Structure 1
Amino acid sequence: MIQTNMESTPLLERKDEGDKSKLGNLLKANVVFLVFHLAVNIRNPLVTQYVYQRYYDEEFDNSTNTLNQTSKCYVNESDPGYLLQERVQEKTSDFQTILTAIGSSLAVISCMFLGAYSDYLGRRFLFIVPLIGESIRYASVTIVIYWNLDLRYMYIGEVFEGITGGYNGVILASYAYTADNTPPKNSRTIGIAVIDFTTYLAAAASSASTGYFIKDTGFLYPSVTTLSIMLLSVLFVIFLLPETINTDRRSQYPSPVKAVKNVFGFYFSKDFGPKRGLFWLILASYFLSMFCGAGVSTVQYLFQLNLPFCWGPELIGYFNMAMCLGMQLLGIPVIKLLHLCTSDPVIGIITAFIQAGAYVLIGLASTDFMLFSFVVPNGVASPFPPTVRAIMSRMAPPEMQGSLFAGIGLVNIISGTVGITAFNEIYNATVEMLRGFAFFRLCGIRVLVRSDSIGVPVCISPRG
């Protein structure tokens, strides 16, 4: 009787299912992620430019100096407006640093527990909580803009974002959900890469229009739009996204201490044996990579708004669109092409070198053409983060993907906080001497990432 039941069980069918990606689920997750990032990629330049404009108005309205021109980009260093312009940049940079520190310090704890418990409570839970926090954050910005309140009221939204995991929580949910629906092969690398490139697609779709949106309507309507889109992503998760965690696990969720051990066990537990060293090495490379990415994100806007470019919202939008299209159109083909002849670790090494060269190019830029030429090498280098995440995901057990990406989420938060703070300060210190200096530092760190990656074995089996 037992033998008959075993023979009647479709083992081969179940094995085939485990070796195939669940494309329907992946498509729905990418729809949610696309909508989410449409909101994110309108909000980020909106907030930077709004804060910059508020400080600009404050400094120039309070100035008793007689300004020699009406342009918003002062060229002559002896002009009183030039000094005020430098002060506006520094104030904007400092305010963004504070916003990041508030949200990120709280998200370190919330993302760790969200990821660990999502292995038991489900991935929909992991999506909904941070999306609600992001909606509150976006609402706070809209309220500040509508009533022209003190900018410090934005801190309230950052607190809610941090408590609920916010942006990093949604990223964590997306990677864990993708890992649930892909086998531990090259297809997982592609699946995780598609999540990243959905980000670029959303940014490309919104960047150019955002510049005109801000110019034609001001800051309020774009802010209301971001809030509406964010609420739409919450509805999509509730009504569209299937759960991937079995219901029988929901009564087995661990104690908080056990949840923390699950997150850090990859690096400290003896159960992972020699893999612990690999986890540490890959995590170090990933930390440095995200440190660079976060650092460049805000500095780049300040770099474009002022000398020698003096860009307005429209041109910033076009640049963002070109950069994101470059990553979207070049990233996945580069991965597919290199998979024909090499492995994920080698892809990471190659793309780290290319990214370093791209940062040198943008640091030396003195014309619009030089700045736009950054788009191509940056797009070719975009596969580095997804390949690193895929390597770690394949090394981790399938029932611990949430815990793994919780740890990766912590690295995102810490590296982002440190990166934004460090490079804002570097930019402030060097803005009068060499504006592109921060990008040269990014280049050096990228080369260091490549050196770390050399120690990663180039042949890792699908199961780690």
Structure 2
Amino acid sequence: MESTPLLENKDKEDKSKLGNLLKANVVFIVFHLAINIRNPLLTQYLYKRYYDEEFDNSTTFDKTRNQTSKCYVNESDPGYMLQERVQDLTSNCQTILTAIGYSGAVISCMFLGAYSDFLGRRFLFVVPLIGEVLKFWLLTIVIYWNLDLRYLYIGEVFEGITGGYNGVILASYAYTADNTPPKNSRTLGIAVIDFSAYLAAAVSSVVTGFFIKDLGYLYPSITTASLMLLSLILVVVLLPETIDSERRSQYPSPVKAVKNVFGFYFSKGFGPRRKLFWLSLASYFILYFSQRGVNYIEYLFQLNLPFCWGPELIGYFNMAFSLSRQFLGIPVIKLLHLCTSDPGICIITSVIQAGAYVLHGFANTDLMLFMFLVPNGIAAPLLPALRAIMSRTAPAEMQGSLFAGIGLVNIISEGTGITVFNEMYDATVKMLRGFVFFVCAGCQLLAGVIIVVFLCVSRSVDDTDASTVVVVNEEDRKPDPIISQDKPTTEPTT
């Protein structure tokens, strides 16, 4: 017998839990403050360490000469050649760090996401945050004692075991999906996660530049490690659990957990809906692969010819980058929702994003590089809208499993993207520095084409946005049943 009217329950389901979302966004902002101080800090610290080592060890470079420019411009100058080698060493070190951290996170994030549907979202936040705290403090120790850079590999092992950055992002999306109905408000809620990151990046970017210039690398590293510890404390103190205690009392075996993660793409119970998952996943992979791949190239691109930027100007650019996406992204979503659906938003913004990367690739002045920020900010809703499409297509009871799969794509696509684009940049930096951005632009267009196909296929699938529950049992021999969310549902058996 129902203790509350069905209509009242439905009204509650159709409303976002703004209190929970607000608390979660406080955690997101603190977490992203830490991330957005550390990322440029690490790249510039690696660059400086290799720069000092190469120039100090060089027997051909005249160390007594007065070098007044920020970087060498004469290709026959020994300093120019050493500068090119420093770029290669920095890029290679980042590739190794990424490979170590992400190879372990592939497994950990899959199980974290699947089990969070039963053990709770706080569990999903706490485990990866512990790994991030250990990793961030290890960087501080390396900087303080000027240790061998290979000690940083240990921090990446911590991140891999616990899920690290991708585990926290997975938790963020799953928690937001728990607290929003499967409507346009979910698109906005998921977008706010990304825009919270942009706000944190804007606040931290200039601070990091001045920190590095005036105080070196140690104090920014202490600051970012302390912020990461604070985000862990806030999760424990602030965030309420969104998974009820009855579900937390039972959870599936590891085999069933894996089947829940991959069931969206392989279970016959989803019927024609599987095509939608495959198409959206393919588009998401291409977008994330390319965008994250060029993200780390950005710093090397700015540090060297023809820009030769220092930490302050890099900080100003990162602030402008984040603010443009923060202030343009949400209005663009609201505006486009008046005339089109989420797939339409993805198609429009993918074309705009491609144009932005073409402009970036041709940039040879500071003004052109800053001009890139306007179309890039307008295209900010691209990934949030795609995540919302996938979230609405999945059952409400399996959001953790869905985002575990997306987390795997994040890890694999970012890991391969950073590696591929780093190698591509190394191979083309002397020929055409902006080549990687042209490739990235092509990837945006390809993803947009896939979304067009998604839109066509979705019209042949009845009630695409309806929420369903798929029960995946290890013993099943027949296709898994699809049960409407409006009817009583059965939890997965253990």
TM over 0.5: yes
TM alignment of 1:83-162, pairs within 5 A: 83-162=81-160
Matched residue type, 2:466: R
**Aligned residue in 1 for 2:440:** 442
1:35 aligns to 2:30 (yes or no): yes
Q: Distance in 2 between matches of 1:463 and 1:192?
A: 19
AA aligned to 1:40 is I
- 1:66 deviation in Å? 3.5
Deviations 1:70-126 (A, max 9, x none): 134000101110000000000000000000000000000000000000000000000
Tell me whether 1:430 sits opposite 2:425 in the alignment: no
CA contact (8 A) 2:55 2:61 kept: no
CA distance in 1: counterparts of 2:207 and 2:224, whole angstroms: 13
Deviation at 1:451, TM superposition (A): 1.1
1:374-405 CA distance string (max 9 Å, x none)? 11000001101111110010011111000000
Q: 1:257 to 1:244 in 2, by over 3 A?
A: same
Matched, 1:384 2:379: no
1:233: which partner in 2? Answer: 231
Q: How does 1:339-418 map to 2 (within 5 A)?
A: 339-418=337-416
Q: Deviation of residue 219 (structure 1)?
A: 0.2
Matches within 5 A, 1:298-313: 298-313=296-311
User: What amino acid maps onto 1:187 in structure 2?
Assistant: S
Q: Aligned equivalents of 1:415 and 1:117: distance in 2?
A: 23
Contact 2:98 2:415 in 1 (8 A): yes
Structure 2 residue 461 is the aligned partner of structure 1 residue 463: no
Equivalence for 1:11: 6
- Whole-Å Cα distance in 2 between the matches of residues 461 and 387 of structure 1? 15
In structure 2, distance between residues paired with 1:452 and 1:363: 24
Q: Distance in 2 between matches of 1:461 and 1:433?
A: 47
Aligned to 1:330: 328
Output the aligned Cα RMSD. 1.1
AA paired with 1:354?
I
Percent identical residues: 74
- Change beyond 3 A, Cα 1:416–1:212: same
- Residues in 2 aligned to 1:272 and 1:243: alpha-carbon distance in whole angstroms: 29
Q: Could you tell me which of 59, 65, 68 is aligned with 1:64?
A: 59
Question: 1:462 offset after TM fit, Å?
Answer: 3.5
Q: Deviations over 1:119-169 (max 9, x none)?
A: 000000000000000000001100100000000000000000010000000
Of Structure 1 and Structure 2, the greater helix share is in 1
Return the alpha-carbon distance in structure 1 between the equivalents of residues 379 and 197 of structure 2.
Answer: 15
Query: Which residue does 2:286 correspond to in 1?
Result: 288
Once the two structures are superposed, residues 278-315 of structure 1 have per-residue CA deviations (whole angstroms, 9 ceiling, x without a partner) of: 10000000000001111111100000000000000000
Aligned: 1:193 with 2:215: no
- Equivalent-residue separation in structure 2 for 1:60 and 1:256 (angstroms): 52
Alpha-carbon shift at residue 10 of structure 1 (Å): 2.3
How many angstroms does 1:9 deviate by? 2.8
AA aligned to 1:50 is: Y
Letter aligned with residue 304 of structure 1: Q
Q: Which residue of 1 aligns with 2:475?
A: none
Instruction: Tell me how far apart the structure 1 counterparts of residues 170 and 316 of structure 2 sit (CA, whole Å).
Output: 29
- Of 70-79 and 414-423, more deviation after overlay is shown by 70-79
Q: What SS does the corresponding residue of 2:251 show, helix, strand or coil?
A: coil
1:461 CA drift (Å): 4.7
| The 10-residue stretch of structure 1 (81-90 or 63-72) with the greater mean CA deviation from structure 2 | 63-72
Q: Which residue of 13, 16, 24 maps to 2:19?
A: 24
Q: Displacement, 1:251?
A: 2.1
**2:432 aligned partner, one-letter code:** L
Q: In the TM superposition, what whole-angstrom CA distance separates every residue of 1:309-352 from its partner, at most 9, and x where no partner exists?
A: 00000000000000000000000110100000000001001100
For the 8 Å contact 2:210–2:312, the answer to whether it is kept is: yes
Q: Quick check: 2:70–2:310 contact (8 Å CA) kept in 1?
A: no
The code of the aligned residue for 1:122 comes to G
Do the aligned partners of 2:70 and 2:309 also contact (CA within 8 Å) in 1? no
d(CA) in 2 for partners of 1:37, 1:355: 23
Unaligned runs of 5+ in 1: none
Distance 1:208 1:376 in 2: 19
Give per-residue Cα distances to partners, 1:28-57, cap 9 Å, x unaligned: 001000000000000000000000000000
How far has the Cα of 1:14 moved from its partner?
1.2
> Equivalents in 2 of 1:60, 1:277: separation in Å?
55
Q: 1:217 aligns with which of 215, 218, 227?
A: 215
Q: Match for 1:23: what amino acid?
A: L
CA distance in 1, matches of 2:194, 2:296: 19
Residue in 1 that maps onto 2:315: 317
Mark the runs of 5 or more structure 2 residues left unpaired by the alignment.
468-494
Q: Tell me, in whole angstroms, the C-alpha distance in 2 between the residues paired with 1:20 and 1:172.
A: 22
d(CA) in 2 for partners of 1:15, 1:278: 27
Q: Aligned pair count?
A: 459
Distance in 1, Cα, partners of 2:223 & 2:367: 32
Query: Cα deviation per residue 1:251-285 (whole Å; 9 max; x = unaligned)?
Result: 21000000000000000001111010110000000
Q: Which amino acid aligns with 2:395?
A: P
Instruction: Report the secondary structure of 2:453's partner residue.
Output: coil
Asked whether the equivalents of residues 273 and 464 of structure 2 are also in contact (C-alpha less than 8 Å), the reply is no
CA distance in 2, matches of 1:154, 1:361: 35
- CA contact 2:209–2:315 (8 Å) conserved in 1: yes
One-letter amino acid of the counterpart of residue 58, structure 2: S
